[in-house]
Amino acid sequence: MSSINNQKNMFLDDGFNGFSLIWKINKLKLDLKFPWKIARGECSEKTNFIVELGDEKFKGKGEVAFNKRYDESEDKIQVGFEAFLKSKPSEIDSVKKLYHCLDNLEIPSSLRFGIESAFYDYISRVSGKNVFELLGINSIRTLPTSFSIPIMKVEEISKFVKKYQLNRFKFLKLKIGEEESEEKIKELMRNFEGQIRLDANESFNNPDEVIKFVESIDEIDRIQFIEQPLPAHLHDDALYLKKNLNLEIIADESLTDQEITDYYKNRFDGINVKLMKSGGYLKAIKQINDSKKLGLKVMVGCMIETSLSISAAMVIAKGADYIDLDGCLLIKEDPFSFLGEENGRLIKAGLQ
């Protein structure tokens, strides 16, 4: 993946002569197909924001999928966007100037990405080049994703798999908590033919609990990894777990926009990179590249998002070891149509 600094493109480095640019942000309510329950909570709808940048002829859009786990909220998104407007963004006419502006603001990572992606989307429409080209990345139009199953009762799993025809996917991610997790795994294995990924969302209290749980799983070869079993603040426990667990561990809540260092190599086998956590394309690409250098596996993941930002995540997904970009498949009605899905594969459409 090439750095944007190496690109010789007037829209990215030198600015452009355009119309007066207007920035807006709007709230977007998303109803979900089913109750979304994970270890730390449950919801049936999700509120995101859409950032819009436009002139008389072109409009670019970016999505903000904020997450309370990372101390983000509706109020903080709105306050952060007001701070951005005060920085005179209408005068920003290059990515270099945009980054200079954003680097001088303390705003949520998800908002930072929403602003950045709206700008790239706008440039894409003005220039006729897709975001892959603007970033100097090889294009990817389709890839397989996992599909996530929320926490539910054991007896509900079979019906859920059948109702949503989940055997079309090669990989399913099972959200787990404290109750009956071993039985839920067995039940899913009876009803699903592919590989299973486990996502604990920090639900275990100590490494011994995790080790005991994993040792209780039959057909462990069907489990690809366990994601974030321990709370992110248990640094020493994560060290112990990495040395003593016979299963890959992927960091999620332990990683937001930080640099990838030996800290992660010593505690995890891989990392989950999300644009909403990293705060931008370039930060995410750097996290991916640095992880590969350290021998860590990479998963490209998402929040509950529309196809607007899931298609953006596909921009950084080439070469990832695991893809978990089902966010737009969890909502009842996607207001955008940037992606389709067939047989567990996402198919990209449009200029993005």
Which runs of consecutive H residues, i.e. helices, occur in 8-56? none
pTM over 0.85: yes
CA angle 326, 304, 300 (to 5 degrees): 50
**What are residue 348's DSSP bridge partners?**
339
Interstrand relation of 142-144 and 270-273 (parallel, antiparallel or unpaired): unpaired
Tokens of 291: 């992880």
Q: Which residues lie below 8 Å from residue 267, measured CB to CB, with a gap of 6+?
A: 235, 238, 239, 241, 242, 249, 251, 254
177: left (phi over 0), alpha (psi -120 to 50) or beta: beta
Average pLDDT of adjacent 10-residue blocks, the chain of 352 residues: 37 54 96 97 97 95 98 98 95 92 97 98 95 93 97 97 98 92 97 98 97 96 98 98 98 98 98 98 97 98 98 96 98 96 91 51
User: Which segments of the chain does DSSP mark as H helices, in order?
Assistant: 74-86, 95-103, 109-127, 131-135, 154-163, 181-191, 207-215, 235-244, 262-267, 275-278, 281-293, 307-314
Q: What domains lie within the chain, and their CATH numbers?
A: 22-135 (3.30.390.10), 142-348 (3.20.20.120)
pLDDT of residue 15: 52
Q: How many residues in the chain? A: 352
Residue closest to 34 by CA, chosen among 144, 145, 161: 161
Task: Tell me what pLDDT residue 180 has.
Answer: 87
